[in-house]
Amino acid sequence: MQSFRTELENPIVEKDIIELEQKIRLYREGKMTDEKFRSLRLARGVYGQRQQGVQMVRIKLPYGKMTLQQWKRISDISDEYSTGNLHLTTRQDIQIHFVSLDRTPELWAKLELDDITLREACGNTVRNITASDTAGIDPNEPFDVTPYADAAFRYFLRNPICQDMGRKFKMAFSSSEKDTALTFMHDLGAIPKIRIVDGKEVRGFKILVGGGLGAQPYLAKVAFEFLETDQLIPYIESLLRVFDRHGERSSRHKARLKFLIQKIGIEEFERLVKEEHKALKSKTFPIDYTAYAETVPQAANPVLPEFSIRDTKAFEAWKRTNTFEQKQSGYFGAYIRVPLGNISSVTSRALLEKLGPVVADDVRVTVNQGLLLKFIRPEHLSYVYHLLEENNLQAAGFDSVADITACPGTDTCNLGISSSTGIAAALEDVIRDEFPDLIYNNDIKIKISGCMNSCGQHGLAHIGFHGSSMKSGGRVLPALQVLLGGGIVGDGEGRVSDKVLKVPSRKGPDVLRALLHDYESNRQSGELFNEYYDRNGEKYFYELLKPLADLTALSDGDFIDWGQAETFSTAIGVGECAGVMIDLIATLLFEAEEKLDWAAQSFAKNAWADGIYHSYACLIQTAKSILLDENVNCNTQHGIINDFDKHFVETGKLPVEGTFRALVLQINQHEPTESFAKQYFQQAKAFYDRAQQYRTARQSAAANA
> Which domains, ranges and CATH numbers included, belong to the chain?
11-61+86-112 (no CATH), 130-291 (3.30.413.10), 312-390 (3.90.480.10), 405-559 (3.30.413.10), 585-704 (1.20.120.330)
User: CB-hemisphere CA count at 13 Å for 703?
Assistant: 6
Quick one: pLDDT at residue 412?
A: 81
For residues 42 and 40, what is the distance between their CA atoms, to the nearest angstrom?
Answer: 6
- Kindly report, residue by residue over 314-373, the tens digit of the pLDDT: 999 999 999 999 999 999 999 999 999 999 999 999 999 999 999 999 999 999 999 999
Secondary structure class of 163 (helix, strand, coil): coil
What is the structure's pLDDT at 192?
98
The C-alpha torsion from 629 through 632 and 634 to 639, rounded to 10°, is -110
Average pLDDT rounded to a whole number, residues 67-82: 97
Label residue 2 by pLDDT band (50, 70, 90): very low
- SS3 of residue 482 by DSSP: strand
> Is the model's pLDDT at 578 over the cut of 60?
no
What mean pLDDT is predicted for residues 229-233? 98
The pLDDT of residue 51: 86
* Secondary structure of residue 451 in the 3-state scheme: coil
- pLDDT tens digits, residue range 459-468? 999 999 999 9
Check if the beta carbon of residue 204 is closer than 8 Å to that of residue 227.
yes
User: What's this model's pTM, rounded to 2 decimal places?
Assistant: 0.92
φ/ψ (deg, to 5) at 195: -120, 150
Coil vs helix vs strand at 537: coil
For the chain, the straight-line distance linking the first and the last C-alpha, in angstroms and rounded, comes to 44
Higher-pLDDT residue of 501 and 292 is 501
Least confident piece of the model among 149-153, 228-232, 288-292, 336-340: 288-292
What is the identity of the amino acid at 651?
T
What whole-number distance in Å separates Cα of residue 213 and Cα of residue 186?
8
> Which letter, b or e, does each residue of 570-609 get, where b requires 16 or more Cβ atoms within 10 Å of its Cβ?
eeeeebbbbbbebeeeebbbebbbebbebbeebbeeebbb
- SS3 of residue 395 by DSSP: coil
Residue 506 to residues 8, 476, 502, 627, Cα–Cα distance (Å): 51, 13, 12, 51
> Which run of H or of E encompasses 111?
helix 104-112
Residue with the bigger pLDDT between 698 and 136: it is: 136
**Mean pLDDT value across residues 147-154:** 97
209, 193, 96, 78: which is closest to 145 by C-alpha? 193
407 pLDDT more than 80:
yes
Q: What is the pLDDT of residue 584?
A: 54
pLDDT for 32: 82
pLDDT at residue 649 tops 60? yes
For residue 572, the model assigns a pLDDT of 53
Q: Where are the alpha helices (DSSP H) in 413-524?
A: 421-434, 508-522
pLDDT of res. 581: 36
Whether pLDDT at 533 is above 90: yes
CA distances from 228 to 270, 431, 666 (A): 17, 45, 29
Alpha helices of 452-584 — where are they, by DSSP H?
508-522, 529-536, 538-545
Q: What is the rounded CA–CA span in Å between residue 283 and residue 298?
A: 40
What mean pLDDT is predicted for residues 78-95? 96
Q: What pLDDT digit, counting tens, does each position of 665-692 carry?
A: 999 999 999 999 999 999 999 999 999 9
Using pLDDT thresholds of 50, 70 and 90, give the confidence band for residue 579: very low
CB 626 within 8 A of CB 654: yes
pLDDT at 702: 76
Classify 214 in phi/psi space as left (phi over 0), alpha (psi -120 to 50) or beta.
left
Q: Which of 142, 157, 139, 128 has the alpha carbon at shortest distance from 365?
A: 128
Length of the chain: 705
Whether residue 457 contacts residue 213, with contact meaning beta carbons closer than 8 Å, is answered with yes
**For residues 153-168, average pLDDT:** 93
**CA 426 and chain centroid, separation:** 27
Whether the per-residue pLDDT at 580 is higher than 60: the answer is no
Cβ 472 vs Cβ 549: under 8 Å: no
Q: Is the pLDDT at 589 greater than 60, yes or no?
A: yes
Express as a percent the part of the chain with pLDDT over 90. 78
Residue 251 binned pLDDT confidence (cut-offs 50, 70, 90): confident
Q: How far apart are CA 9 and CA 14, in angstroms?
A: 8
| Contact in structure between 95 and 60 (CB atoms under 8 Å) | no
What are the strands of the beta sheet with 130-131, ordered from one edge?
A: 130-131, 171-173, 188-197, 200-209, 221-228
User: How far apart (Å, rounded) are the C-alpha atoms in residues 472 and 567?
Assistant: 14
For residue 699, the tally of other CB atoms under 10 A from its CB is 12
In the predicted structure, residue 23 carries a pLDDT above the cut 50: yes
Which amino acid, one-letter code, is at 363?
Answer: V
If you ran DSSP here, which 8-state letter would residue 396 be given? -
Residues with Cβ within 8 Å of 115's Cβ and at least 6 positions away in sequence, in order, are 70
CA 75 to chain centre: 21
Element (H, E) at 66: strand 65-66
Q: CA 51 to CA 32: how far, in whole Å?
A: 22
Which helix (H) or strand (E) covers residue 348, if one does? Answer: helix 345-355
Instruction: Quickly count: other Cβ atoms within 10 Å of residue 169's Cβ.
Output: 25
Mean per-residue pLDDT over the chain, rounded: 92
Average pLDDT (389-399) is 97
CA distances to 13, 135, 445 from 176, rounded to whole Å, are 34, 9, 20
CB-neighbour burial class of residue 181 (10 A; exposed 0-12, middle 13-18, buried 19+)? buried
